[in-house]
A and B are shown apart, each in its own frame.
Chain A
Amino acid sequence: MRRNAHKVFASKIARALVTLVLMVTSVFILMRCAGDPVTVLLGPDATPDMRAAYSGELGLDRPILAQYLAYLHNVVRGSLGVSYVYRQDALGVVLSHLPLTLILTCCALTLAGVTGIAGGIAAAVFPASIVGRASTIASVVGVCVPSFFLAIVLMLVFSIHLNWLPTGGAESWRNLVLPAVTMAAASSAVLARYTRVAVRESLDSRYVLAAFARGIPFRRILIHHVLPNAAAPILTILGLLIGGAVTGSTVVETVFSWPGIGNLFVTSVGSRDVPVVQAIVLLAGTAMIMTNLAVDLGYTWLDPRSKSSET
C-alpha cells in the first residue's frame, strides 16, 4: 500500500516536472514568435551594424537549438536577463515585488475561502433559510460583477464618500482592505457555488440517507460523510484560484496602485521590458503547476480511491 502511494506521488511529481519543461519551452517559442528581439530593443531605425552587434551580444546569431539550450541553462540558474527599465536582474525585480502580491493574495484567498466555503455549505444545508438564499444571491452577484467595477464602487463608497480607507498605495493595513475585499469577492462567489453543488450532491446520496437511518447525528454526518466526499471539487477550485492568484491580481493591483507583481506586469508590458514579462510569466506558470501538484497530492490524502485508481 505504502509502495503504491510512493509510486503515485512519484508519477505526479514527474508529470509536474514535464509540464514545467513544456511551459518553459512554450515561453521560449512565444517570445520568439512575438517578433525579433533586436527590433524590439533598438527600434526599426537601427543600422545593420548595431543589429549585428546586439544579435551577437544576446546570442541571437547562434542556431535556434543552441539558443534554446542556453535559455534552458539560464532558466535553471535563475538568470532571466537584465531588465531594460530597471537595469537589474529581471528575476530580482520580480521577486522584490512578490511579497506585496503574496500578502494581498493570501488575505484575499483566506477571506474568499472562509466566506465562500461557509456560504456554500449554508446554501446547501439550509437552502430555504435566509442565510442560504442570501448566500446563493451573493454568489450570483459576485460572479457577475467584474472586479474593476467593484473596485471603483468600493473606492467611491469607502474612500471618497465615507473617507474610511485610502484609495491606493501600500503604506499600512488600511491600504490592504479594499484590494483584498475586491479580489476575494469573485473567488468567494465561485467557491460558494461549487461548494453548494458538491455539498448538496453529497447530502442527497444514499450513504447520507443510510447514516440518518442509523441514528447518526446531523453534525457528525456533515463532518464525517458529507464534507470529505464534497472536498475534491472544492479543492480543485481552490487550487485554480491559488494558482491563478499571482496573475489574477493584475486588475486589482492596477486599480488600487498596489505595487505588486500584477502592477509590475502591466507597466512592463507597456514599456516592452521583455525579461521582466518573461520572468513573471514563468513565475505564474510555475505557481500554477506547483499548486496543481499540491492539489493532486491533496486528492490522494482526501480520497483514498484516487490512490488505487492511479496504479
Chain B
Amino acid sequence: MTLPIGPARVRTAPASPEPILELRNVDFCYRAPRRSAAEVLGGSRLRKINMSIGRGKAHGLIGESGSGKSTIAKLLLGLTAPQAGQILFDGELLTPNRLAAFRLRVQPVFQNPLDALNPVTPIGKQIVAPLLVNFRMRSSDCQARLAAAISAVGLSGEILGKLPHQISGGQAQRVNIARALILDPEVLICDEPVSALDMTVQAQILNLLSDLRESRGLSLLFISHDIRSVAYLCSEITVLKRGSIVESGSRDQVLLDPKTDYMKSLLRAVPNSELGVEMASRSTPYSQPTEPRHVPAQR
C-alpha cells in the first residue's frame, strides 16, 4: 500500500452520482445476555437502514439520544458488523478482507476530542502513528505529511510535543481532524464532533470541516443532535428515530418541508430565527460574530 508524500490530494467534486459509502437494508442489534427494556421497546436496534453518502458531499444524520446514530458511525467505520444487510464502499461490498484498506480511506472524528487521544502519548506521535504502522514510512517522510496535516487544521508545530491534557478541547478536536487527514482519507465520519465544545470553538470546527470538504473534496457524514450545525454544513439529511430512518432527503426538503411529526417536533425545538439564519445563508459563515472565517484561531 502506498501513500503519496507531501500535501494531500485535491479531489474534484462529484463526477459520478454513485455514492461513496452506502448502507443497504442494514439490521443491527447489540448482543446482550438479557434483553433490556430498551431493547424490547426497540431502543438499541437498527432496522432496515438504507442510507448513502454522496461523493464529495456532506451528509447529516440527526436524531435523539439512543436513536442509533453512533451505532451507524461504528458500522460505517467497520468497527462492528451488521447482522443483516450490506455496507458498500466505492461500489464494492465491504468484507473482512477489505477492512484494513477501507479503514485508511474512511476516518473518524469522535465526540469528546480529549477522550479520543491517548493520554500518555505526545500529540505528534499520535498523529503519525498510522503512517508508521500501516505504511512503514520513514520518519522524514512522515514529518512532511505531519506538517501539512497540522497546518491544514490551523495548528502550529509547538503542539506536537504536548500531551493531550496540556491542550484545549478545540485544539484537541483539530488534532483529531489532523490525525484523520494525515492518511488522506476520502470520507470523514464525524460523530458529534462539536457537541463537547463551546459555541465559539464549535463555529471554528464547523468552518474547518466545511473548508476541508471544499478544498479536498472530502465526503462527510456529520452526526449531530444539533439541527443548526447540520443545516449549516450538510446538503443531505437523514433523520433517525429509535433505530429506524423516519425521513431522508435534501436539506431543504427535510428542514423546510418535514413529512413526519417527529421531524416537525425536532424543528419546533429550534428557535426559528437561529435556523432561519443557517437556512438563508448557507454560503456564509456559521454564526460566529467574533471569529473571522478561514482564520481558525487556536484557543
Chain B CB within 8 A of A133 CB: no
Q: How far is the CA of A210 from the CA of B79 in the complex (A)?
A: 10
Task: Evaluate whether A304 and B163 lie within 8 angstroms (CB atoms) in the complex, with A209-B110, A213-B77, A214-B183 already known.
Answer: yes
Q: How far is the CA of A229 from the CA of B115 in the complex (A)?
A: 13
Within 8 A of A (CB), among B164-182: 165-166, 176, 179-180
Chain B CB within 8 A of A63 CB: no
Q: How far is the CA of A229 from the CA of B112 in the complex (A)?
A: 18
Chain B CB within 8 A of A216 CB: yes
B110 A217 Cβ-Cβ under 8 A = no
Task: Evaluate whether A214 and B107 lie within 8 angstroms (CB atoms) in the complex, with A302-B120, A305-B163 already known.
Answer: yes
Report the nearest A residue to B182, measured CB to CB: A214
B110 A305 Cβ-Cβ under 8 A = no
Q: A230 CB to closest chain B CB, in angstroms?
A: 11
Chain A CB within 8 A of B108 CB: yes
A215 B130 Cβ-Cβ under 8 A = yes
Chain A CB within 8 A of B129 CB: yes
Chain B CB within 8 A of A126 CB: no
Q: How far is the CA of A225 from the CA of B130 in the complex (A)?
A: 13
Q: Which of A213, A228, A304 contacts B103 (CB 8 A)?
A: A213
Q: How far is the CA of A28 from the CA of B221 in the complex (A)?
A: 70
Chain B CB within 8 A of A164 CB: no
Task: Evaluate whether A225 and B166 lie within 8 angstroms (CB atoms) in the complex, with A213-B103, A214-B103, A214-B183 already known.
Answer: no
Q: How far is the CA of A125 from the CA of B181 in the complex (A)?
A: 30
Q: A169 CB to closest chain B CB, in angstroms?
A: 47
Chain A CB within 8 A of B215 CB: no
Q: How far is the CA of A216 from the CA of B100 in the complex (A)?
A: 9
B119 A305 Cβ-Cβ under 8 A = yes
A220 B110 Cβ-Cβ under 8 A = no
What per-residue 1/0 map shows which CB atoms of B101-126 lie under 8 Å from chain A? 00110011011100111111100000
Chain B CB within 8 A of A303 CB: yes
Chain A CB within 8 A of B37 CB: no
Chain B CB within 8 A of A68 CB: no
Residues on the A chain within 8 Å of B183, using CB: 214
Task: Evaluate whether A215 and B118 lie within 8 angstroms (CB atoms) in the complex, with A206-B110, A209-B79, A308-B165 already known.
Answer: no
Residues on the B chain within 8 Å of A302, using CB: 120
Residues on the A chain within 8 Å of B112, using CB: 206
Report the nearest A residue to B133, measured CB to CB: A216
How many residues of B sit at the interface, in one of the four size bands?
20 to 34
Chain B CB within 8 A of A149 CB: no
Residues on the B chain within 8 Å of A206, using CB: 110-112, 115-116
B120 A305 Cβ-Cβ under 8 A = yes
Residues on the A chain within 8 Å of B108, using CB: 210, 213-214
A214 B179 Cβ-Cβ under 8 A = yes
Q: B95 CB to closest chain A CB, in angstroms?
A: 15
Residues on the A chain within 8 Å of B78, using CB: 213
A228 B79 Cβ-Cβ under 8 A = no
B103 A229 Cβ-Cβ under 8 A = no
Q: A96 CB to closest chain B CB, in angstroms?
A: 44
What per-residue 1/0 map shows which CB atoms of A192-233 lie under 8 Å from chain B? 000000000000011101111111110010001100110000
Residues on the B chain within 8 Å of A303, using CB: 119-120
Report the nearest A residue to B180, measured CB to CB: A214
Q: A245 CB to closest chain B CB, in angstroms?
A: 28
Q: B267 CB to closest chain A CB, in angstroms?
A: 31
Residues on the B chain within 8 Å of A216, using CB: 129-130, 133-134
Q: What are 12 A-B contacts with C-beta separation under 8 Å?
A: A205-B115, A206-B115, A207-B117, A210-B108, A210-B176, A213-B78, A214-B130, A214-B180, A215-B133, A225-B118, A303-B120, A305-B120
Q: Which residues of A contact B (CB under 8 A)?
A: 205-207, 209-217, 220, 224-225, 228-229, 302-305, 308
Contacts A210-B176, A217-B133, A228-B118 supplied; 16 other A-B pairs, CB < 8 Å: A206-B115, A209-B79, A210-B110, A210-B179, A212-B79, A213-B77, A214-B129, A214-B183, A215-B133, A216-B130, A224-B118, A224-B121, A229-B120, A303-B119, A303-B120, A304-B163
